[in-house]
């Protein structure tokens, strides 16, 4: 086989066979296909898409590029939760401890930041000492001991996703339904949980911009889950504005702690309560309202926060050593009125540009002081930038301030399959 011929075949709208996709994916993993060739292949998928059959093949090949976790030594229902990526999306770190406090095992493999979206793994790596590369034994021991664990793609589990994900990030080949679906589901299948919940984000700060795309992705995610006999549900949520008040790795950990203590941004808190309740209801096969009571009790009693601390220390992290940039720049409103929009794409790009300095600067980010729906006076502080020298004073461009109020609706498109 020759990669150029496979790319031409795809461009001619012919379906690639399992063996042809296998040749490309494994060729890239073992080095016989170069980054340049793989980039052309990924660009071709972004333009020409893939059939369902091709997406199933791609997912299966990525799963088989490594091991599937053996969870047979772990008793009880195991669940997994994933987000397709957004700006300020730290929901996994809030939902995981809530679920683990309710006798359900929370087992998850996450990715680093992709494009302008933030990655759960980067947020965790902002905690000094936190280990995301655990052996299979360490993972199973953690799940048995504390009921939750979050790891990164590794050389043993979905190595193909690790390598392709990093190339997609560098080559702007992130916004493709087949690539997102196979990337997410290969991780979910390799992690081998029984039930999967996916928060499909749509809007300016998400990888997908339209409701139709979000529905299309949700359908294929559920179909892949079904093929592997995993109960899979997708909930589509709005990602036009940043989620929560903090955007940036260590700042988001600070916000996780606030929400787990019953405080913090209302929209973020409500979304986490909804997603946790939904996940718990499918895990335990109980009514959503009953699950919500369990979730609220777990937060109000402080159990979820204590579980988060247990999880961090179990994976070697020291929360007391979290660092935030002390170069804080205030952003002031340039008119009086209601904040009607905060462009998540602008905010995500500002934070990622600063964070990508010399490897990674986890201490930078943005704090939104006045969110969508607030009335602000001229020259009032509406945000703070925890900056480094890569900040170019452009955060004000993200804010729209108008005479009339508009509400931010997060659970705009709830669709369950
Ligand atoms: N999350 C993933 O794991 N992969 C993607 O491609 C997008 C979001």
Tens of pLDDT, residue by residue over 297-333, are 999 999 999 999 999 999 999 999 999 999 999 999 9
CA of 85 to the centre of ligand 1 (A): 7
**What is the rounded CA–CA span in Å between residue 38 and residue 59?**
16
pTM: 0.95
Domain contains 62: no
Domain contains 186: yes
Q: Is the pLDDT of residue 415 over 80?
A: no
- pLDDT, tens only, 364-406: 999 999 999 999 999 999 999 999 999 998 999 999 999 988 7
Q: Is 182 in the pocket of ligand 1 (CB under 6 A)?
A: no
Domain contains 38: yes
Q: Tell me how many degrees the CA angle 280-83-64 measures, rounded to the nearest 5.
A: 95
- For residues 141 and 217, state if they share a domain: yes
CATH code assigned at 83: 3.40.1030.10
Domain contains 407: no
Residue 413: pLDDT band with limits 50, 70, 90? low
Q: What pLDDT score does 42 carry?
A: 98
Q: Is the pLDDT of residue 411 over 80?
A: no
Strand, coil or helix: 384:
strand
CA of 273 to the centre of ligand 1 (A): 23
- pLDDT, tens only, 66-107: 999 999 999 999 999 999 999 999 999 999 999 999 999 999
Which atom of ligand 1 sits closest to the CA of residue 84? 8
Residue 1: pLDDT band with limits 50, 70, 90? confident
Domain contains 283: yes
The number of folded domains in the chain is 3
Domain contains 306: yes
Best mutation site among 115, 183, 217 for ligand 1, i.e. most ligand atoms within 8 A of its Cβ? 183
**What is the rounded CA–CA span in Å between residue 186 and residue 105?**
19
Q: Is the pLDDT of residue 339 over 70?
A: yes
Q: What pLDDT score does 24 carry?
A: 98
**What is the rounded CA–CA span in Å between residue 69 and residue 143?**
12
| Strand bridging mode 365-368 / 381-386 | antiparallel
Domain contains 392: yes
Q: What pLDDT score does 417 carry?
A: 57
- For residues 244 and 346, state if they share a domain: no
- For residues 139 and 266, state if they share a domain: yes
Closest Cα to atom 1 of ligand 1: 84
Q: What pLDDT score does 76 carry?
A: 93
- For residues 311 and 329, state if they share a domain: no
CATH code assigned at 389: 3.90.1170.30
Backbone phi, then psi, for 229, in 5-degree steps? Answer: 65, 35
Closest CA to 341 of 402, 252, 393: 402
| Average pLDDT along the chain | 95
First to last CA, the chain: 39
- For residues 243 and 207, state if they share a domain: yes
- For residues 232 and 344, state if they share a domain: no
Q: Is the pLDDT of residue 216 over 90?
A: yes
Q: Is the pLDDT of residue 2 over 90?
A: yes
Q: Which residues span the domain enclosing 378? A: 324-402
Q: Is the pLDDT of residue 251 over 90?
A: yes
- For residues 162 and 106, state if they share a domain: yes
The pLDDT > 70 percentage for the chain reads 97
- For residues 117 and 185, state if they share a domain: yes
Strand, coil or helix: 190:
helix
- pLDDT, tens only, 154-187: 889 999 999 999 999 999 999 999 999 999 999 9
Q: Is the pLDDT of residue 253 over 80?
A: yes
Catalytic annotation, residues: 82, 161, 168, 183, 187
Residue 358: pLDDT band with limits 50, 70, 90? confident
- For residues 118 and 252, state if they share a domain: yes
Backbone phi, then psi, for 361, in 5-degree steps? Answer: -110, 100
- For residues 40 and 91, state if they share a domain: no
- For residues 115 and 262, state if they share a domain: yes
Domain contains 57: no
CA of 173 to the centre of ligand 1 (A): 11
Question: What is the average pLDDT across 19-24?
Answer: 98
Q: Is 233 in the pocket of ligand 1 (CB under 6 A)?
A: no
Q: What pLDDT score does 412 carry?
A: 54
Q: What pLDDT score does 405 carry?
A: 83
| Strand bridging mode 399-402 / 337-342 | antiparallel
Q: Is the pLDDT of residue 236 over 80?
A: yes
Q: What pLDDT score does 231 carry?
A: 94
- For residues 387 and 296, state if they share a domain: no
Q: Is the pLDDT of residue 49 over 60?
A: yes
């Amino acid at each position: 086989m020759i990669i150029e011929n496979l790319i031409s075949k795809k461009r001619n709208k012919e379906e690639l066979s399992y063996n042809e996709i296998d040749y490309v994916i494994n060729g890239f993993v073992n080095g016989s296909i170069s980054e340049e060739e793989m980039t052309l292949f990924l660009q071709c998928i972004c333009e020409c898409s893939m059939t369902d059959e091709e997406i199933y093949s791609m997912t299966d090949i990525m799963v088989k590029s490594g091991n599937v976790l053996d969870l047979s030594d772990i008793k009880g229902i195991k669940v997994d939760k994933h987000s397709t990526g957004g700006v300020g999306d730290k929901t996994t770190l809030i939902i995981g401890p809530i679920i683990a406090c309710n006798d359900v095992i929370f087992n998850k493999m996450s990715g680093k930041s992709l494009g302008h979206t933030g990655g759960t793994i980067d947020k965790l790596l902002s905690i000094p000492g936190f280990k995301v590369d655990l052996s299979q034994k360490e993972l199973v021991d953690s799940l048995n001991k504390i009921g939750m664990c979050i790891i990164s793609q590794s050389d043993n589990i979905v190595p193909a996703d690790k390598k392709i994900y990093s190339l997609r990030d560098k080559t702007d080949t992130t916004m493709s339904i087949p690539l997102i679906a196979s990337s997410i589901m290969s991780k979910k299948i390799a992690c081998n949980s029984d039930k999967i919940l996916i928060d499909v984000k749509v809007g300016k700060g998400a990888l997908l911009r339209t409701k139709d795309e979000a529905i299309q992705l949700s359908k294929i995610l559920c179909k892949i889950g079904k093929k592997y006999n995993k109960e899979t549900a997708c909930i589509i949520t709005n990602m036009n504005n940043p989620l929560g008040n903090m955007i940036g790795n260590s700042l988001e950990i600070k916000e996780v702690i606030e929400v787990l203590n019953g405080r913090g941004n209302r929209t973020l808190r409500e979304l986490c309560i909804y997603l946790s309740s939904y996940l718990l209801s499918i895990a335990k096969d109980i009514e959503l309202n009953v699950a919500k009571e369990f979730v609220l009790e777990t937060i109000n009693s402080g159990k979820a926060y204590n579980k988060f601390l247990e999880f961090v220390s179990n994976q070697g992290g020291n929360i007391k050593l979290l660092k935030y940039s002390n170069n804080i720049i205030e952003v002031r409103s340039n008119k009086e009125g209601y904040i009607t929009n905060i462009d998540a794409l602008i905010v995500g790009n500002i934070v990622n540009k600063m964070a990508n300095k010399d490897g990674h600067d986890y201490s930078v980010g943005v704090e939104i002081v006045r969110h969508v729906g607030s009335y602000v006076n001229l020259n009032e502080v509406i945000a703070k930038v925890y900056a480094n020298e890569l900040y170019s004073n452009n955060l004000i461009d993200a804010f729209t301030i108008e005479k009339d109020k508009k509400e931010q609706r997060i659970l705009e498109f709830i669709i369950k399959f």
